[in-house]
Structure 1
Amino acid sequence: MSVLILAVLCGAVVGLALGGLGGGGGVLAVPALVYLLGVDPADAGTASLLIVTVTSATALARHAGTGAVRRRTGALFAAVGVLPTVAASMLAHRLPQPLLTGTFAILAAVAATFMLRGTRGTAANESRPMPPTPPTTHRDTLLREPRTATATSTGPLRTAGAGAGLGAVTGLLGVGGGFLAVPTLVSVLRLPMRAAVGTSLVVTLLNSLVSLATRLTTEGVSIDPAVLGPFVGAAVLGAWDAKRLTARFSGPALQRAFAVLLLATATFMLVDAVV
């Protein structure tokens, strides 16, 4: 199979993951670039951040009109992770690749486990009827958002810690953080799965932008445009079309699909790191 076809197929899968599940683009893009497209591991993280930034922006635009994006919650969640993102981005190229790969795999497996355990609770959340939101009160809905989106029982310190941790993961591993943002938003902030998917895109976009800017400043990126171009193009198209995925499946079904995807990727990468 030619490199062009592989790049298009990989990009489509990454776009569908980000657009339909709110994360998983970076966690799929990095191994795809390294193992399938032959990109040097040192460049794969930076290239992945570029792909995830463009794709998550597209997916966010697609989800913006659904009412499932808690913009202020996502922006606040990402803001506390800015400094950890910058620090981890500067540290990433100094650490051995097997260590980064193993850490990546373990975090993905832990996140998948929490997602699978929380499926029943998510199903209960999804079954609750949502109050109607008249178009004329959209501004009021946004003003009420911080109170409804950030469950007060979780505490601000726990929320800040989760955001800082996601920022560090983004900078260190070259991913947008969405594969951890979704389970965190569900379990820590108690968001329904659909709201977590949309809000995760805000977190992913902001984290990716910060980490990408830091990496480009400190080390740059070298990747064949013949690989990167088709990958990004297919990812953007996949993200735009993925809205239909969230419309056809329930929140718990999306949550289980995301968890299984994470476990499969984590297993593959952990085996590679050990062997």
Structure 2
Amino acid sequence: MELALLAVVVGVGVGIVVGALGAGGGILAVPVLVFLLGMPAHSATASSLIIVLITALASLPHHARHGNVDWRNGLVFAGVSVVGAVLGSRLSALVPAHILLTLFGVMLVAVAVAMLRRGLRTRTEERAEAAAHGAAAAQSEEPVATHDDPVLDQPGPDMVDAADGVRRHHGEAELPLTPLRPASPRLPLVIAAATLTGFLTGFFGVGGGFIVVPMLVIALGLAMRRASGTSLLVMVIATAASLLARIGTEVQIDWVTTLVFAAGSAAGGMLGGPLSARARPSTLTLAFSALLGGVAAVTLVQTLTG
């Protein structure tokens, strides 16, 4: 009973992070399942896939209703990731548990540092943009008219083309979207990122949102919130492919603990979605980085000293 209650409580916390950031569910679920709920490492990675899948499915509708899911590019990215997901899932079962957890901890450190750097850079850009808008408003005597007609403003009532020619989604700058095509110099980057996302999803049992979100921002020019919502779509497809690839392996899943944890995570995911609309992108990124740093420290200490 106590184990089930712990699974629910921790699951809610993990779900809030996934719903708010569009990332992080598997990264948090695996250490929790291993060190708090006592699962073997390989079982934890498999259970994490189920948890991430259910949580992402619960969080996706909120982002879709608010126009934060790029279905076309998200489906393309997810489709490419399936190859890496199958390969990673089959390889994971062959790696010893302590090596798997050590590699997991190293990955956490790398992602935490990358997200910290991005968060600090985004915070600087936000301040510069706010200062520029303040100066422009002080010099202008005429208000700039914008429209929110869903017919005239095809991308959605929350997206307008500003006077500087940059499309903005919920106030965030977004590059003009272009179809993925061989002539695009960003296509190799998207393919590489999608394949790596799938591999990490299958190998570690993570959703891959920590890679998908920045790649959707950098390679496809999506705004942070739109990238976060789209990453949930990618998670659903990549985790489903990874689970199917584990059929026939010797990995065992504790279905009771997994489903109880997933139920709490799904509930938290529905709570976390609205929170993302109230925070600045830089705040979300920095909070995610700090959380990953703490989880990385616990994972490495427990694995190397256990």
Q: TM-score, normalised by structure 2?
A: 0.79
Counterpart Cα distance in 1 of 2:47 and 2:35: 14
Q: 1:234 aligns with which of 253, 264, 267?
A: 264
How far the C-alpha of 1:122 sits from its partner, in A, is 2.8
Give the structure 2 partner of residue 164 of structure 1: 195
Q: Which has the higher helix share?
A: 1
Q: Which of 1 and 2 has greater Rg? A: 2
Q: Which amino acid counterpart does residue 243 of structure 1 have in structure 2?
A: G
Q: Which amino acid counterpart does residue 49 of structure 1 have in structure 2?
A: L
Give the structure 1 partner of residue 46 of structure 2: 46
C-alpha distance 121-192 of structure 1, shift in aligned 2 (>3 A): farther
How far the C-alpha of 1:207 sits from its partner, in A, is 0.7
Q: Which amino acid counterpart does residue 171 of structure 1 have in structure 2?
A: G
Residues 211-258 of structure 1 show CA distances to partners (whole Å, capped at 9, x for unaligned) of 011113434633051x22321211111111112211221111001111
Of 175-184 and 118-127, deviating more is 118-127
Matches within 5 A, 1:9-48: 9-48=9-48
RMSD: 2.8
Q: Is the 8 A contact 1:149 1:190 kept in 2?
A: no
Q: Is the 8 A contact 1:114 1:183 kept in 2?
A: no
Counterpart Cα distance in 1 of 2:13 and 2:297: 18
Counterpart Cα distance in 2 of 1:154 and 1:103: 32
Aligned length: 271
Give the structure 1 partner of residue 254 of structure 2: 223
Give the structure 1 partner of residue 71 of structure 2: 71
Matched, 1:135 2:150: yes
Give the structure 1 partner of residue 137 of structure 2: none
Give the structure 2 partner of residue 244 of structure 1: 274
Counterpart Cα distance in 1 of 2:147 and 2:264: 36
Percent identical pairs in the alignment equals: 35
C-alpha distance 188-267 of structure 1, shift in aligned 2 (>3 A): farther
How far the C-alpha of 1:141 sits from its partner, in A, is 3.5
How far the C-alpha of 1:192 sits from its partner, in A, is 2.5
Counterpart Cα distance in 1 of 2:216 and 2:102: 24
Give the structure 2 partner of residue 87 of structure 1: 87
C-alpha distance 181-239 of structure 1, shift in aligned 2 (>3 A): same
Counterpart Cα distance in 1 of 2:178 and 2:272: 24
Give the structure 2 partner of residue 184 of structure 1: 215
How far the C-alpha of 1:182 sits from its partner, in A, is 2.3
Matched, 1:201 2:232: yes
Of 68-77 and 10-19, deviating more is 68-77
C-alpha distance 195-202 of structure 1, shift in aligned 2 (>3 A): same
Q: TM-score, normalised by structure 1?
A: 0.88
Unaligned runs of 5+ in 1: none
Q: Is the 8 A contact 1:86 1:214 kept in 2?
A: yes
Unaligned runs of 5+ in 2: 134-145, 157-166, 168-173
How far the C-alpha of 1:93 sits from its partner, in A, is 0.8
Counterpart Cα distance in 1 of 2:286 and 2:179: 23
Q: 1:155 aligns with which of 186, 190, 194?
A: 186
Matched, 1:113 2:113: yes
Give the structure 1 partner of residue 292 of structure 2: 262
C-alpha distance 196-7 of structure 1, shift in aligned 2 (>3 A): same
Of 145-154 and 61-70, deviating more is 145-154
Give the structure 1 partner of residue 142 of structure 2: none
Counterpart Cα distance in 2 of 1:17 and 1:149: 30
Counterpart Cα distance in 1 of 2:217 and 2:50: 26
SS for the counterpart of 1:148 is coil
How far the C-alpha of 1:272 sits from its partner, in A, is 2.6
Q: Which amino acid counterpart does residue 245 of structure 1 have in structure 2?
A: L
Q: Is the 8 A contact 2:193 2:211 kept in 1?
A: no
Give the structure 1 partner of residue 143 of structure 2: none
Give the structure 1 partner of residue 171 of structure 2: none
Counterpart Cα distance in 2 of 1:11 and 1:88: 25
How far the C-alpha of 1:153 sits from its partner, in A, is 8.0
How far the C-alpha of 1:163 sits from its partner, in A, is 0.9
Q: Is the 8 A contact 2:93 2:249 kept in 1?
A: no
